[in-house]
Amino acid sequence: MDIFMKCFNYNTANEIREQGIYPYFHALESKQDVEVIMEGKRRIMLGSNNYLGLTTHPEIIEAGIKAFEQYGSGCSGSRFLNGTLLLHLELEKELAAFLRQESALTFSTGFQSNLGIISAIAGPKDYILCDKENHASIYDGCMLSRATLLRYRHNDMGDLERRLKQVPEGAGKIIITDGVFSMGGDIANLPEIVSLAKKYNARVMVDDAHGLGVIGEGGRGTPSYFDLENSIDIYMGTFSKSLASLGGYMAADEVVVDYVRHHSRPFIFSASMTPSSCASALAALRHLIKHPELPKKLMSNAEYFRKRLMEEGIKIRESSTPIIPIYTYELVTTLIIAKELYDEGVYVNPSLPPATPPKECLLRTSLMATHSYSLIDEAVMIIKKVLEKYDL
């Protein structure tokens, strides 16, 4: 059989396109901001991970331009060889200090970070305990590691303990969880996870891609939020969200970071972060450190948006972060609503199976620290207008 037969037989995307409700690959024609020009029209952006609104900040843009001028457009090699810049080392040092960890290591993307960390730390004789709603990059990292994967029900500590009991005595084990879950916006039960890890002699890794810059003291993320910074073995995160750039990182004890540095194939065999991406992330980190009020403003906006949605009778999934999912239930209805909102000038992300259970589809909305209350009010009224047509 022709290996391309699966491609020839794939019709789902075209069927949705023919219905006029295809929700992906809309082209931006402006900066990623609270208002954007997308395909020729103004849209209120409620579908971005630009939580602190720093992608348009003059300091961040200027840092990227200066790095481009000083170092050129790229490093053309891996960190192992010709791809390490002083900028990489500065970013790692300052990030480790911010997270109150001994050391940090940068990767070219957030997805690559999970692939690189997990596949280096875990091996065929080890066990990984993984929340069912963890990010796809965690699952792919687990597969690359060839460790035994044990999934536990989302944020279900009883099920996690049941899984831990299944691990053979003496086997290496690590619990991996998102800090803030990217679709639901809920926060991992880190206190219980840490308690169980100690009880069963397991390590803990937190993917804090959606926690950094969002929660915790000064935006230090989920471990800080729970005052558990000294109880997490590996921090992982990205620069593509709150830090307004591209790339990812791990932070941990130096001995762990150095092991990954020398054993992670995705790290060793990939070109390093570009100079402009590295400089932009570093500038964003420094800006966050100087302005610890930014995460508070972000949470204030999220609380206001959540309050306004409930005032208008719009059913939302409970969360305490800037990720606020709105229930739309049926798949086709969700796609239609997302398209109508887009046409009315509000951009949101439809969340569909397998990311959600069947008949529990959502519109994933997310706030920025730079949204104004008036812009939030405008978006809420548009959302209400569209949802009322569907008795939602």
| CA atoms in the 13 A half-sphere facing the CB of 83 | 21
Q: Find the catalytic residue in 88, 135, 173, 241.
A: 241
Determine whether 277 is an active site residue: no
Phi, psi of 272 (to 5 degrees): -75, 165
User: What dihedral do alpha carbons 141, 145, 148, 153 form, nearest 10°?
Assistant: -10
Q: Strands, DSSP E only, in the chain?
A: 35-38, 41-45, 103-107, 127-131, 148-152, 173-178, 203-207, 234-238, 248-252, 323-329, 346-347, 349-351, 361-366
Spatial strand order of the sheet with 346-347 comes to 35-38, 41-45, 346-347
Q: Find the catalytic residue in 108, 119, 182, 366.
A: 182
Determine whether 66 is an active site residue: no
Q: Which residues contact 262 (CB under 8 A, 6 or more apart)?
A: 268
| CA atoms in the 13 A half-sphere facing the CB of 341 | 32
d(CA 241, CA 199): 34
**Contact (Cβ atoms closer than 8 angstroms) between residue 99 and residue 111:** no
Q: Which residues contact 172 (CB under 8 A, 6 or more apart)?
A: 122, 123, 125, 126, 127
Task: Give the angle 364-367-29 at the CA atoms, nearest 5°.
Answer: 85
Spatial strand order of the sheet with 103-107 comes to 103-107, 248-252, 234-238, 203-207, 173-178, 127-131, 148-152
Determine whether 182 is an active site residue: yes
d(CA 284, CA 239): 9
Q: Find the catalytic residue in 210, 242, 245, 371.
A: 210
Q: Strand 173-178 relative to strand 361-366: parallel, antiparallel, unpaired?
A: unpaired
d(CA 71, CA 275): 6
Q: Which residues contact 375 (CB under 8 A, 6 or more apart)?
A: 34, 35, 44
Residue numbers annotated as active site: 182, 210, 241
